[in-house]
């Protein structure tokens, strides 16, 4: 008789947890309280991880050959994380790498998947950055078959500046789960680019936190092609006055894929600014989920936060679920959100066809334009070019 | 050049064009005038191949070849250009990229060599000057934030770039001031030639002060009810369309 895979997985995890250090056992206990997130949990109602983790997953296998990253063109310092195991070469001056466990930050402590990753990560990475690092840093996560758990803590010293690319790729049926915690010191600046593609059978959950000290700046751009299920989740905390966060994300899905972009931005200090833009383009029977929440504490006066999300439905069976949320306790703030959904404009398509474009070309150009706004103003021009190129290739294949 | 024979067009099951026959020989400019609702825009959309404009009977040929079975882009590649009454705004699509992509798509379909970025830039800058669009406007997303007049200038810019064999201009004059009307006249007159035809659809006679038509046709209730020379437009300006409404 076949047992539900989830039970099998939880049993296996619990068995492995017996061998964990005391510190890690605590992470596992925190995870075990809720287990794998499911649709009866409000934050997971559209991404039912438990439902897709029914299938049993064989142990991780090393990929034989690793092709160069699509981000190789910007000449990054690459940290390759293959099935959870990290490897890197000589780090640029100002970048220090080590393997070390640490308690989860307050933003991550209640998240079941953050605890799961912290409990089982093969390599818990600690990356320290000081000064202005010109060379982009690529954290390249590749998953093969099986289950992999990954963790990284990235600390930017006061005034540090860095561009960090995180790519999440994989092939076959895998479950790759990670937690990445960023801590930005006073006046630090981080340009973060996330690119995710789990294939048709892979499951990717990438959870991250960003704490911003006074005057710190994060500029985050994410592109998700989804997977059997994929979720990019970001929690940001404006801890110091005058911090700035820009969050831009695009979902592009086809077939039966599922992509989820979820975020929470906490405004706990005065005079902080947040700008968020999300676009979903969903084809076939695929599904795009966007959940964005701004929290403004009573102390966070003069918060200026704006969220815009829109979805482009490219077939009758495609689905987009958007949930923008504001929770505001301060009275002197500027906060707004807007969410729209629609199809391609047939008038625009006819206009373009009259000018000589085929229907396919006209649609592709419109979809590219729709998603393209997310990549306007990516700090690194080379990265903007690569992200746009990935969308173009997606359109050619779609 | 463009020959329309006994054309019937229905939109949403409603017959709008009801047996229209019209021939514009190469080298000529014909004007179609008519009141609101006479079917002027329906005619232009049906000839351009818009979906939901169902041709229920009749023929449309361009240089003797039927175009009715063709996709709109194939009609464009054959040299048919429609200047829209209400041109679209296309957010996020860079103007020059769009026009060059369209031009090269047409050229490719005709088996011609594509135009290089440098040659294209030179051509579009020169032509933008003629239609009165600044470099800054060319750098914007297509038509986004443009005034009605600027959008019409963008239509004329594309007509000048594509150099179509046959152009239908659907109320290009609406919303234009005198200077812009003169510009439209200049663009059309510069393109006029023995191998090219125009069909100018308009409410008013005033555009025809700048583009002297070889023939003027009156459209009413989906049919041509009167045809004449350029003087017919002046006559209509005085007498109005009412006399044809009963037809």
| A367-381 pLDDT tens trace | 999 999 999 988 788
**Mean pLDDT, rounded, for A287-315:** 97
Q: So what's the pLDDT on residue B95?
A: 96
Nearest residue to A71 via CA among A218, A195, A233? A195
Nearest residue to B124 via CA among B168, B79, B161? B161
User: Bridge partners of A37?
Assistant: none
Q: Which of A351, A364, A371, A392 to mutate to test the interface with B (most CBs of B within 10 A)?
A: A351
User: Do the Cβ atoms of A345 and B93 come closer than 8 Å?
Assistant: no
Averaged confidence pLDDT in chain A: 93
Exposure of A230 in the CB half-sphere (CA atoms within 13 A): 33
Averaged confidence pLDDT in chain B: 94
**Residue A5 pLDDT exceeds 70:** no
For the stretch A253-281, pLDDT in tens is 999 999 999 999 999 999 999 999 999 99
B88/A354 CB distance under 8 A? no
DSSP-derived 3-state class of residue B110: coil
User: Do the Cβ atoms of A196 and A225 come closer than 8 Å?
Assistant: yes
What's the CATH fold of domain B2-245?
Rossmann fold (3.40.50)
Nearest residue to A58 via CA among A120, A117, A1, A9? A9
Nearest residue to A248 via CA among A191, A296, A319, A198? A191
Q: Which of A250, A312, A354 to mutate to test the interface with B (most CBs of B within 10 A)?
A: A354
Greatest CA separation for chain A = 69
Residue A93, exposed/middle/buried by CB under 10 A (0-12, 13-18, 19+)? exposed
φ/ψ of residue B120, rounded to 5 = -65, -45
Minimum CA–CA partner of B103 in chain A? A356
**Residue B45 pLDDT exceeds 50:** yes
Instruction: List the domain boundaries for chain B.
Output: 2-245
B77/A368 CB distance under 8 A? no
Partners of B71 on chain A (C-beta within 8 Å) are 353, 358-359
Partners of B88 on chain A (C-beta within 8 Å) are 345, 347-348, 351
Minimum CA–CA partner of A372 in chain B? B92
Q: Indicate the pLDDT class of residue A55, thresholds 50, 70 and 90.
A: low
CA angle B201, B204, B207 (to 5 degrees): 75
Minimum CA–CA partner of A345 in chain B? B90
ipTM value for the complex:
0.96
Q: How far does the CA of residue A255 sit from the closest CA of chain B (Å)?
A: 26
A354/B72 CB distance under 8 A? yes
**Residue B237 pLDDT exceeds 90:** no
Supply the DSSP symbol for A271.
Answer: T
CA distance B128 to B132: 6
> Taking CB atoms and an 8 Å cut-off, how many pairs form between chains A and B?
73
Q: How far does the CA of residue B96 sit from the closest CA of chain A (Å)?
A: 13
A351/B98 CB distance under 8 A? no
Partners of B48 on chain A (C-beta within 8 Å) are 354
CA angle A214, A219, A221 (to 5 degrees): 155
Residues comprising chain A, all counted: 398
Which among B50, B84, B102 has the least Cβ separation from residue A356? Answer: B102
Structure tokens at A313: 């439905």
Supply the DSSP symbol for A132.
Answer: B
**Mean pLDDT, rounded, for B130-149:** 94
Lowest-confidence segment of A72-76, A374-378, B56-60, B62-66 by average pLDDT: A374-378
Cα separations in angstroms, A211 against A122, A150, A189, A245: 24, 20, 12, 10
User: Do the Cβ atoms of B34 and B218 come closer than 8 Å?
Assistant: yes
> What torsion do the CA atoms of A373, A377, A379, A383 make, to the nearest 10 degrees?
40
Neighbours of B42 (CB within 10 A): 22
Q: How far does the CA of residue B38 sit from the closest CA of chain A (Å)?
A: 22
Predicted model pTM = 0.91
B92/A370 CB distance under 8 A? yes
B87/A351 CB distance under 8 A? yes
Structure tokens at A201: 């059978």
Lowest-confidence segment of A56-60, A138-142, A242-246, B169-173 by average pLDDT: A56-60
**What percentage of chain A exceeds 90 in pLDDT?**
83
User: Residues of A near B (CB-CB distance < 8 A)?
Assistant: 345-348, 350-359, 361, 365-366, 368-370, 372-373
Which among B51, B77, B84 has the least Cβ separation from residue A351? Answer: B84
Minimum CA–CA partner of B107 in chain A? A356
**Mean pLDDT, rounded, for B15-35:** 95
Q: How far does the CA of residue B19 sit from the closest CA of chain A (Å)?
A: 24
Residue A19, exposed/middle/buried by CB under 10 A (0-12, 13-18, 19+)? exposed
Sorted by sequence, the CB contacts under 8 Å of residue A134 that are 6+ apart come out as: none
Supply the DSSP symbol for B171.
Answer: S
B50/A359 CB distance under 8 A? no
Q: How far does the CA of residue B89 sit from the closest CA of chain A (Å)?
A: 8
CA distance A272 to A299: 11
Q: So what's the pLDDT on residue A146?
A: 85
Q: Inter-axis angle of helices B95-109 and B148-162, to 10 degrees?
A: 30
Q: How far does the CA of residue A354 sit from the closest CA of chain B (Å)?
A: 5
User: Do the Cβ atoms of A245 and A238 come closer than 8 Å?
Assistant: yes
Q: For tokens 């929470």, name the residue.
A: A264
CA distance B47 to A148: 60
Q: So what's the pLDDT on residue B10?
A: 97
Q: Indicate the pLDDT class of residue A62, thresholds 50, 70 and 90.
A: low
Q: So what's the pLDDT on residue A171?
A: 86
User: Bridge partners of A279?
Assistant: A250, A310
Q: Indicate the pLDDT class of residue A135, thresholds 50, 70 and 90.
A: very high
B54-89 b/e (C-beta count within 10 Å ≥ 16 → b): ebeebebebeeeebeebebbbbbbbbbbbbbbebbb
Sorted by sequence, the CB contacts under 8 Å of residue A112 that are 6+ apart come out as: A30, A31, A33, A34, A35, A36, A37
**Residue B43 pLDDT exceeds 50:** yes
CA distance A173 to A61: 11
* DSSP-derived secondary structure for B61-106: EETTEE-TTS-HHHHHHTTEEEE-SSPPPEEEEEHHHHHHHHHHHH
* DSSP-derived secondary structure for A40-103: TSGGGSS--HHHHT-S--PPP---S--PPPTTGGG-PEEEEEETTEEEE-PPPTTEEEEE---P
Q: How far does the CA of residue A355 sit from the closest CA of chain B (Å)?
A: 6
Lowest-confidence segment of A35-39, A187-191, A297-301 by average pLDDT: A35-39
Q: So what's the pLDDT on residue A17?
A: 87
CA distance A102 to A117: 12
Q: So what's the pLDDT on residue A63?
A: 57
For the stretch B73-117, pLDDT in tens is 999 999 999 999 999 999 999 999 999 999 999 999 999 999 999
Which among B49, B76, B91 has the least Cβ separation from residue A355? Answer: B76
Supply the DSSP symbol for A227.
Answer: B
Considering only residues A19 and A177, tell me which one the structure prediction assigns the higher pLDDT.
Answer: A177
Minimum CA–CA partner of A353 in chain B? B73
For the stretch B158-194, pLDDT in tens is 999 999 999 999 999 988 989 999 999 999 999 999 9
Minimum CA–CA partner of B162 in chain A? A355
Minimum CA–CA partner of A356 in chain B? B73
B93/A369 CB distance under 8 A? yes
A353/B72 CB distance under 8 A? yes
Q: Which of B81, B90, B94 to mutate to test the interface with A (most CBs of A within 10 A)?
A: B90
Cα separations in angstroms, A173 against A62, A124, A258, A285: 14, 24, 14, 20
């Amino acid at each position: 008789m076949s047992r539900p895979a989830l039970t099998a997985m939880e049993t296996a995890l619990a068995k492995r947890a017996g061998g964990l250090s005391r510190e890690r056992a605590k992470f596992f206990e925190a995870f075990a309280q809720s287990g794998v997130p499911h649709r009866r949990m409000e934050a997971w109602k559209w991404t039912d991880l438990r439902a897709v983790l029914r299938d049993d997953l064989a142990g991780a296998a090393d990929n034989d050959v690793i092709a160069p990253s699509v981000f190789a063109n910007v000449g990054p310092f690459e940290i390759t994380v293959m099935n959870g195991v990290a490897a890197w070469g000589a780090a640029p001056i100002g970048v220090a790498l080590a393997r070390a466990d640490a308690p989860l930050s307050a933003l991550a402590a209640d998240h079941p998947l953050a605890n799961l990753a912290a409990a089982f990560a093969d390599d818990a990475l600690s990356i320290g950055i000081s000064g202005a690092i010109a060379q982009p840093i690529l954290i390249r996560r590749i998953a093969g078959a099986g289950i992999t758990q990954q963790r990284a803590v990235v600390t930017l010293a006061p005034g540090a500046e860095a561009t960090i690319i995180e790519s999440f790729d994989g092939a076959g049926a895998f479950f790759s789960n990670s937690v990445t915690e960023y801590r930005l010191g006073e006046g630090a600046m981080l340009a973060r680019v996330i690119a995710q593609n789990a294939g048709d059978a892979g499951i990717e959950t990438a959870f991250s936190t960003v704490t911003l000290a006074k005057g710190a700046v994060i500029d985050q751009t994410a592109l998700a092609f989804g997977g059997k299920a994929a979720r990019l989740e970001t929690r940001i905390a404006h801890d110091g006055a005058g911090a700035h966060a820009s969050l831009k994300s695009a979902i592009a899905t086809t077939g039966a894929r599922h992509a989820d972009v979820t975020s929470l931005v906490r405004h706990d200090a005065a005079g902080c600014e947040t700008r968020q833009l999300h676009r979903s383009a969903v084809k076939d029977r695929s599904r795009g989920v966007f959940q964005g929440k701004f929290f403004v504490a009573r102390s966070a006066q003069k918060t200026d936060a704006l969220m815009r999300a829109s979805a482009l439905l490219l077939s009758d069976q495609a689905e987009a679920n958007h949930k923008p949320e504001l929770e505001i306790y301060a009275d002197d703030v500027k906060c707004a959100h807007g969410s729209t959904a629609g199809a391609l404009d047939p008038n625009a398509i006819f206009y373009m066809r009259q000018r000589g474009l085929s229907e396919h070309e006209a649609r592709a150009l419109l979809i590219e334009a729709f998603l393209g706004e997310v990549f306007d103003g990516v700090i690194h021009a080379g990265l903007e070019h690569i992200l746009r190129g990935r969308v173009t290739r997606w359109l050619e294949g779609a | 050049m463009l020959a329309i024979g006994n054309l019937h067009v229905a939109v949403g099951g409603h017959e709008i064009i009801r047996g229209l026959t019209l021939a514009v020989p190469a080298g000529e400019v014909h004007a179609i005038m008519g009141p609101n609702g006479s079917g002027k825009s329906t005619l232009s959309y049906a000839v351009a191949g818009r979906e939901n404009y169902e041709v229920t009977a009749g023929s449309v040929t361009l240089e003797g070849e039927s175009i009715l079975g063709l996709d709109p882009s194939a009609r464009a590649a054959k040299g048919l250009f429609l200047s829209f009454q209400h041109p679209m705004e296309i957010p996020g699509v860079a103007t020059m990229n769009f026009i060059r992509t369209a031009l090269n798509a047409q050229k490719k379909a005709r088996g011609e060599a594509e135009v290089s970025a440098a040659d294209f830039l030179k051509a579009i800058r020169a032509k933008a000057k003629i239609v009165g669009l600044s470099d800054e406007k060319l750098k914007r997303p297509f038509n986004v934030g443009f005034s009605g007049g600027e959008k019409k200038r963008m239509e004329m810019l594309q007509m000048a770039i594509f150099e179509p064999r046959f152009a239908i201009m659907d109320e290009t004059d609406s919303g234009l001031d005198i200077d812009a009307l003169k510009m439209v006249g200049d663009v059309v007159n510069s393109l006029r030639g023995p191998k090219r035809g125009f069909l100018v659809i308009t409410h008013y006679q005033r555009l025809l002060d700048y583009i002297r038509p070889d023939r003027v046709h009156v459209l009413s209730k989906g049919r041509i009810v009167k045809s004449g020379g350029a003087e017919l437009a002046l006559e209509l300006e005085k007498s109005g369309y009412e006399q044809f409404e009963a037809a």
